[in-house]
Structure 1
Amino acid sequence: MVDGIKGRLAAWATGRGPVGDTAAGELDSPIGTALMVLESPDHLTQVLDSDLVTPGTTLFVPGQGGSADGPLIVGYEGSLSAPGTEFSMSSGTDTFYLQVQSYGISEYMSVIGPTLIRIADVADFAVFLADADRARLDGDFVDFLGHPVIQLADLAGLGAAVTGDGPRRRLYVGADGRLSLSPGGCRLGSVGDDWATLQAEWSRVAGADAHPGSACLGDVLPEQVRVPVLASRPWLSRYFAALDGIRRIRVMGLPVPRVSGFGGRLMAGLPDPSDTMQSSDATGTDLPLLLWTDEEAYLYSAVTHRTFRLALPAAELVETLMVCGSVEAAASFADRDALRQVTACFGEAGVRLTTAEPLAAGASVR
């Protein structure tokens, strides 16, 4: 049971789903949230009596546990909100521990187990941006962000490509009864508010959001600080996808790879990653990412979460197609027939390598 609950907990912390039958949009009721964390058990009765909770809701409540014919209530000890604390939950003899840390100190902390990293203030945000910039320019990704047991919270507020984050997916109930998406999110309401009131405030906040994600970090990160720097870094969604790819490679027990578009390319002579006018893979996550070591390469899709292993010569063709955006443009750097063959091969698997050409007719995801 704990393994399944961990997935829901990750969805609540990051805002990224779907996660099994608790995904936003998969609830039977048109109202209510999928995942909710209460900081205090004092609000449980009032929350359960509200229309914020449906039979499909999972609630994390201090010291509480169990469920009857309704929402799943998961008891926990500690906290999920304040950096420097520890969260734990148990099922039988199985206990799961999660450390909560602020971003700014994470580089100096040893990884001792699953860890949730939060942006706690403007200083944390500045360190995060410096790390992202270094990865983009030099290909040097901070080690802890690519570690398989470490997760960064509130991804939508930091430029990741996250869809569906909102009160349908997750809510946080503070000790004072405030309702928000996350501990650092702006206030959306209070315990006792109904779904219509909460949804109206969410629509107001989301509608005024110049860059998606203010609702999950608005209480710790001013919009006048967050929005301009994210707008000037349209490649951040690809940065997060690269971290996901690195994490998957490390789970396989393989060496930390390099990532095309971050500090350089596998194939010499291709347009520089910083040249967004010449590089079709400079921003966004529609195109996969190419990762490589001295021995082989891997193609990771942030859309399907699939990973393909490639020999280095084939990887150079794949990279050329993604950078150039079409077979015709890529033919200036590699053999045209080989490029067409690679395009067709991945098209058969439902993977797009170019921006200018459709997938092969009749292609389907296997």
Structure 2
Amino acid sequence: MKIKVMAILVICSILLVGCWDKVELNDRAYVISLALDDIGDLLEVTYTIPNLPVITAQSGGEATKFIKVTKAETLTQANRAFGKKSNLRINFDHTKVIIFGADFLNDPHNLRKVLDHFDRNPEYSKALLLLGTKETGKKLLESVPNGEETTGIYLSQVFINNSLETISAKTIELGDFISQMYSTEGNGVMPNVIFRDNEVIVDGLAILRDYQLRGWMEDKYMTPYSWILGKGKETVALVDMEGVLVPYEISDLTSKMDFELKDGLLKIKISISSEGDVSEYILEDKDKLFSTSYIAEIENEVANSMEEDIYELMNIIQEEYGIDIINAYNNLKTSNRKVWKTTKSDWQNFFNAAAIEVECKVNIRRVGLSK
């Protein structure tokens, strides 16, 4: 009998203790997106929070989100200050996006502190999307793209639902970015987003060097950048064939880097192999596409065009940015340990002075079904 009573008391105590800190769903402020901006000596943090009672039809009203702003010296203080402005407990379990404003990215001290905060705090998912903007993160979160109410959800859906199309903008997650910055002593990239014509647009890359904004890569270079990384599926290369713009839609692509060190000069050979389709031509001349020799001409022109685009981009990377953002260091480390050991202590200088050779091979697999 005593054993049964003791068992009942133990079970009751476990059940009672398990709920002492329970917080109801409607008592939490679920932050969907977070923006960080510098304003003088302070950090300005903007939070987007869904209005759950309205979304779940438990109460009337039109606003489906709240925008909250706090200012503090650190992100930890800003999050604590949030509680003074709200009767809800802040929660980051469902956060989708973090946006860094341009001024914030120009402050290496703050970026280091914030990345350390994210790395230490288990509340933030390491799969969060990281984005930069040439304006302020606050302005971006206050925008209403295409009638959507919550910018953070809209942005995450842009990357998730169109992953192959947007891969040229190099989707980057929080955990990967932190690892990248640590391993390269503060060098990295993240997609740049802007709000224009009532739309949120992915527009190139923010380039970081030594934990500080180095520059912005134009959107036109995103496609050759993705080719170098070997992530160019579903991108398009355009060539002019006798006054006709012919689109080559890439369905498969591989990239390889080879390295050689001769007389103190590093040589990097970038080899791109791709397969794809010609999806558009001129109706009256469509029979040309069934000529083997003409297809070979198109393949040659496409390869030349791709090589020119990559050479132009590499020139900008080496001379303007001065950092390795094409993952050459890791490729060298795994493919040629002898050269890697010689260059690793002064890698950035070796990379910036390296001779670049590009070779593209193009294989047109399909030109349509009609003849």
Same fold per superposition (TM over 0.5):
no
Q: When you count helix as a share of all residues, which structure comes out higher? A: 2
Q: When you count strand as a share of all residues, which structure comes out higher? A: 2
